[in-house]
Structure 1
Amino acid sequence: MSAQPHERVDYVDPGDRVIAQGGRAAGAPAGLLRRYAATVCTDHAGRVLLYRRTASAPVYPDHYDVLVGGAVRAGEEYRAAALRELREELGWAAAPGLTEAYRLRVDDPHGACFLTVHRWRADRAPRPDPAEIAWCGFVMPLAVLTGGYTPLVPAGEAAVRRLFPL
């Protein structure tokens, strides 16, 4: 879901401990980080869900990505945020078997953040929100890296390399 000016988020210290809360649009206070949750979805054949962001996306417009997700809201856990984003962006109201794959600190266009990546094997077709997703489909992981899907969001490319060693 696109950032709302009134949306509140937690800001954390380098140990991922909540220190402050504030409006998402205001940006993180000095020395603190944002938190993001994302999911890499696969299908029964081991293909990964690849999507193209809309031209109006505030970050990485018209880029391809495999990470479905967004900001963790104030008081929300990473897993709950990942489930909310799957519902908002792809119409999946539930994701049984969703598991955390890894968490790391990354730099994104908004500054340093913690990114928690989950994995989920989809058991039904997505219903993408056209305000968020211009196109989506399941492709083989190798095709994400070599199939001409450019430009590719850097964190999504890193997730494919980490989760699907080639």
Structure 2
Amino acid sequence: MRLRCVVMQTRRVTHEQVDHVDPGDRVVAQGRRTDAPPAGLLRRYAATVCSDHAGRVLLYRRTPTVRTYPDHYDVLVGGAVRTGEEYLAAALRELREELGWTAAPGIAEAYRVRVDDPHGACFLTVHRWVADRPPRPDPREIAWCGFVAPLTVMTGGYTPMVPAGAEAVRRLFPL
């Protein structure tokens, strides 16, 4: 199965430095976020699937200004792992930047997978967290968000949907 790894595109990406990794997920080079990785190397992304205590998943709609999948629905809140940053630290930073959550007690890695990104191959590490307070979405990045039943997402209740987000719901909320 081929997945696409998608993250939020923001105004700050032109100066971000990111690590590039080999197929074993070992850091071997650095570069600007906007530059393609050297041949044979991959990008790293961290994302979180958030749910509430009722078992609903946080779904959001991407803004029309993002480069990849504009106006699509997604459950993966995340972005590029910066140079020297661990996956978990990147996931926590993205939750803070995109949803205003300054802490995420109990967040844990759910899975890591190598996927195809519209801009090249990447490692995507998906975390899971049960939210203990409502989000405060950044309107530059999130057009709408709310907690919805995972089954509604899996059965096509929200379209268009980012493929990697749809796969995350299938993996994390089995029927």
Quick check: TM above 0.5? yes
Q: 1:9 pairs with 4, 14, 18, which one?
A: 18
For structure 2, the residue ranges without an aligned partner over 5 or more in a row are 1-7
Q: 1:50 pairs with 59, 68, 71, which one?
A: 59
Alpha-carbon separation, structure 2, partners of 1:69 and 1:83:
9
- Superposed displacement of residue 147, structure 1: 4.9
1:1-166 matches, cutoff 5 A: 2=10, 3-166=12-175
Alpha-carbon separation, structure 2, partners of 1:98 and 1:145:
23
Q: Percentage identity across aligned positions? A: 80
For structure 1, the residue ranges without an aligned partner over 5 or more in a row are none
Secondary structure, in 3 states, of the residue corresponding to 2:61? strand
> For 1:55-106, what per-residue CA distance to the aligned partner results, in whole angstroms no more than 9, with x for missing partners?
0011110000000000000000000000000000000000000000000100
- Superposed displacement of residue 42, structure 1: 0.4
- Superposed displacement of residue 148, structure 1: 2.5
RMSD value over aligned CA atoms?
0.9
